[in-house]
Amino acid sequence: MSVVVPECCDDLKRERGRCLFNKEELTNILDGGPKLTEKRRRIEKMLINTPELFDDVSPDYLSHEDRYSNELRKATQLMTTLEKNGFTYNDAVTTGTGLWLLMDGNPLSLHISMFLDTIKGQSNPQQLQEWLPLAEKFKIIGTYAQTELGHGTFVRGLETTATYDSTTKEFVLHSPTITATKWWPGALGKTSNHAVVMAQLYLGGKCYGPHIFMVQLRDLETHRTLPGIVVGEIGPRLGMNSNDNGFLQFNHHRIPLTNMFMKHSQVTEDGKYVKPLHSKLSYGTMVQTRVGIVYHASRELSRALIIAIRYSAVRHQSEMVPGDPEPQILDYQTQQYKLLPHLASFFALRFSARALLEVFIGTSAGLGSGKMNMLPELHALSSGLKAVATNDAVKGTDICRLACGGHGYLSSSNLPRIYTAIAAGITYEGENTVLFLQVARYLIKSFRASSQGQTLPFSVSYLRVQPPSSHAPLMSDRGLVDALGAGVRWMVGEAERRLQQLVDSGHSPHAAWNACSVHLVQCADAHTRYYICEQFVDAVSKLGETVSSGVHEVLRQLCRLYILHRVIQTAGILLRCGAVDGKALTSIEEEECHLLATLRIQAVSIVDAIDIKDVFLKSTLGAWDGNVYQRIYEEAQKSPLNKSDVTQGYYQYLRPLMKANL
């Protein structure tokens, strides 16, 4: 398949003609620099030149089994294509190409993310030497098997046991109840022959909590399930049905002592336990994946935005002025209000994902030299950002679908598939409410620490009891972000006051926590969004000195829109704490509407700069050329029901009904 850039329709030509900034420069910023753009494009070109990676028939028309096989065919082809051309899977993960864009659940994605990451992050040197080359070369294929039928969120409540038998120097893995059945892991059902398994470690009758074990599930020659193991697929789901999410039970299954991941905690041959430096180090793969999900969510949101914004420039509907030609629906202010704040969110998330990655890299480097002090901050930031990014991507993607009217409901728009895939992100890798409650715990702890005069880590330093007063004018970006910060400080202070009041009136701290948890989740959400605003303002101001004025202006406008929108969403809190007044809010609302009209002019060019090619968008509505109606019509012709004029169903059911004497 070669990349032919088709001539675009007149509407899109006109839109693109209004572009006042250098698109390539904006693309480079989004990629993280020209070198990364170039690398991404090299990978994409290679993928585009591999026709086997593209579906001839939509997965919707395949049986469950064929759909899985087809996805496995593409996934294996993708891996060999990357390998042959000198790229690593990590290149494809970090540039966002191929892995998810091409796929409908990719049965090898857990292998190249959580399985490999666990091997890299949890192995001692011997284990690393043994397992990493095998996994990197796909000699063993694995997944991350943690969640059980009975417990996903509460990792400490997992029931699978790993009991050490010092006589044979083995662990005995067992699923004592039906609820101990591992349930959900991607690629567990039929693809994986290994899994990293989270199980309760038992030594001499004492439980030491969840630990991770490398477990072979299937024979490496026959792929048959090993004795003592039951494994299968869990059946259809809301989305990503080309994957084989699975279940797994152990019946006193034995593995060697050396199969417990021993980088952080160890078990000696005689059954002694060596504690890790921090009790949550074994949760490291989850933290790393949450970091990746922030980027992934922003990418999926951007695909939906490209589709909806291009379509909105091509679609004409109704009369704005009686008798005038039907306008592009993007001219309606309500349509701009649906889409453009989400476009701003995409940029905000992209910059925040990058900032989070830096925290992750810095913290990981610290862990290497035994420094654990950044771990709580990383946990809070990655939890909050994963939750906000997936919540916003899901909401934004659905709004994009709605903004495309009826055609957004077509599978061929690709919006349903993007939506159902990212919708899982709210639940997997830590359910969002639960993650927000982890953030809230950090906020309350920090607030209390500050009252006792302690210095706070950077992401929460604005919560200190006596913050310096903001000198920035309220209506400046900085002034409004400071107002948002004041709002969060007020919310957290209020939550702390309510918690204390409940405890003082006789409630246990845990009961008080639950009684305040709606408010606590709001605190965590507001804190994370304040952090995102800070990252966005920071990134734009840093870029200011290095980019052309056109690009800077677009970024400044998007950042402004993000902040204004956030202030309006938080109006109630900001009024209550006196950070803004009614007059300021009125002018903010007016400015937002004005900004929508300004950004509308270059909206198509902005989404063009995100630079996702048609073959990855896979949408009849969002293609570069805007040839929407022809594409929709052609896709419909591929329906198997259109293979014959009269279907079997007519003879089997309709005709007998019509002939019956009712």
Ligand X SMILES: CCCCC/C=C\C/C=C\C/C=C\CC/C=C/C(=O)SCCNC(=O)CCNC(=O)[C@H](O)C(C)(C)COP(=O)(O)OP(=O)(O)OC[C@H]1O[C@@H](n2cnc3c(N)ncnc32)[C@H](O)[C@@H]1OP(=O)(O)O
CA distance readout (Å), 634 to 135, 627, 628: 42, 11, 10
Q: In terms of Cα–Cα distance, which of 256, 262, 283, 274 is closest to 173?
A: 256
Side-chain half-sphere of 244: how many Cα atoms within 13 Å? 26
The nearest distance, CB 656 to ligand FAD, in angstroms, is: 41
Indicate the residue among 153 and 549 with the shorter CB distance to ligand X: 153
- What are 212's two structure tokens? 């991770």
> Per DSSP, which regions of 217-252 are E strands?
229-233, 246-250
- What are 125's two structure tokens? 């040197």
Q: Look at residue 253 and give its three-state secondary structure.
A: strand
Is position 235 annotated in a ligand binding site?
Answer: no
Among 379, 386, 417, 552, binds ligand X (CB under 6 A): 379
| In the complex, residue closest to ligand FAD by CB | 152
Assign 3-class secondary structure to 263-295.
CCCEECCCCCEECCCCCCHHHHHHHHHHHHHHH
Among 147, 163, 298, 390, binds ligand FAD (CB under 6 A): 147
Q: Are 528 and 387 in contact (CB under 8 A)?
A: yes
Among 434, 475, 515, 543, binds ligand X (CB under 6 A): 434
Among 145, 399, 439, 579, binds ligand FAD (CB under 6 A): 145
For residue 437, state whether it binds ligand FAD (rule: CB under 6 A).
yes
Stretch that binds ligand FAD, among 121-129, 344-352, 421-429, 468-476 (CB under 6 A): 421-429
Among 81, 288, 335, 535, binds ligand X (CB under 6 A): 288
CA distance readout (Å), 505 to 297, 314, 500, 502, 512: 43, 62, 8, 5, 10
Q: Give the whole-angstrom CA distance, residue 155 versus residue 146.
A: 8
Burial 488-526 (b: 16+ CB within 10 A, else e): bbbbbbbbbeebeebeeeebeeeebbeebeeebbbbbbb
Burial 538-563 (b: 16+ CB within 10 A, else e): ebbeebeeebeebbbebbbbbbbbbb
For residue 520, state whether it binds ligand X (rule: CB under 6 A).
no
- 155 interface partner picked from ligand X, ligand FAD, none, CB below 5 to 8 A per type: ligand X
The secondary structure of residue 256, as a DSSP letter, is E
Indicate the residue among 109 and 312 with the shorter CB distance to ligand X: 109
For residue 438, state whether it binds ligand X (rule: CB under 6 A).
yes
For residue 354, state whether it binds ligand X (rule: CB under 6 A).
no
The nearest distance, CB 146 to ligand X, in angstroms, is: 5
For residue 427, state whether it binds ligand FAD (rule: CB under 6 A).
yes
Among 8, 108, 110, 596, binds ligand FAD (CB under 6 A): 110
- What are 415's two structure tokens? 């919006």
For residue 526, state whether it binds ligand X (rule: CB under 6 A).
no
* Catalytic residue flag (residue 429): yes
Among 79, 217, 257, 293, binds ligand X (CB under 6 A): 293
In the region spanning residues 634 to 653, those forming contacts with ligand FAD, defined by CB under 6 A, are none
Among 146, 200, 336, 438, binds ligand FAD (CB under 6 A): 146
Q: Give the whole-angstrom CA distance, residue 122 versus residue 53.
A: 33
For residue 528, state whether it binds ligand X (rule: CB under 6 A).
no
Cβ atoms within 10 Å of 85's Cβ, excluding its own: 15
For residue 433, state whether it binds ligand FAD (rule: CB under 6 A).
yes
The nearest distance, CB 159 to ligand FAD, in angstroms, is: 13
For residue 214, state whether it binds ligand FAD (rule: CB under 6 A).
no
For residue 93, state whether it binds ligand X (rule: CB under 6 A).
yes
Q: Give the whole-angstrom CA distance, residue 248 versus residue 195.
A: 10
- 433 interface partner picked from ligand FAD, ligand X, none, CB below 5 to 8 A per type: ligand FAD
For residue 375, state whether it binds ligand X (rule: CB under 6 A).
yes
- 97 interface partner picked from ligand X, ligand FAD, none, CB below 5 to 8 A per type: none
Q: Give the whole-angstrom CA distance, residue 72 versus residue 74.
A: 5
- What are 26's two structure tokens? 């904006």
Is position 186 annotated in a ligand binding site?
Answer: yes
Would residue 87 be called left, alpha or beta, if left means φ above 0 and alpha means ψ between -120 and 50 degrees? beta
In the region spanning residues 168 to 187, those forming contacts with ligand FAD, defined by CB under 6 A, are 184-186
Q: Are 374 and 362 in contact (CB under 8 A)?
A: yes
Q: Pick the catalytic residue: 159, 170, 233, 429? A: 429
The nearest distance, CB 410 to ligand X, in angstroms, is: 25
For residue 152, state whether it binds ligand FAD (rule: CB under 6 A).
yes
In the region spanning residues 227 to 286, those forming contacts with ligand FAD, defined by CB under 6 A, are 245
Stretch that binds ligand X, among 63-71, 330-338, 373-381, 448-456 (CB under 6 A): 373-381
Indicate the residue among 109 and 160 with the shorter CB distance to ligand X: 109
* Binding residues for ligand X (CB under 6 A): 93, 109, 113, 144, 146-147, 153-156, 186, 280, 283, 286-289, 291-293, 296, 375-376, 379, 428-430, 434, 438, 441, 445
* Binding residues for ligand FAD (CB under 6 A): 110, 143-147, 151-153, 184-186, 245, 424, 427-431, 433-434, 437
Q: Which residues are catalytically annotated?
A: 429
- Give the annotated binding-site residues for FAD: 147, 186
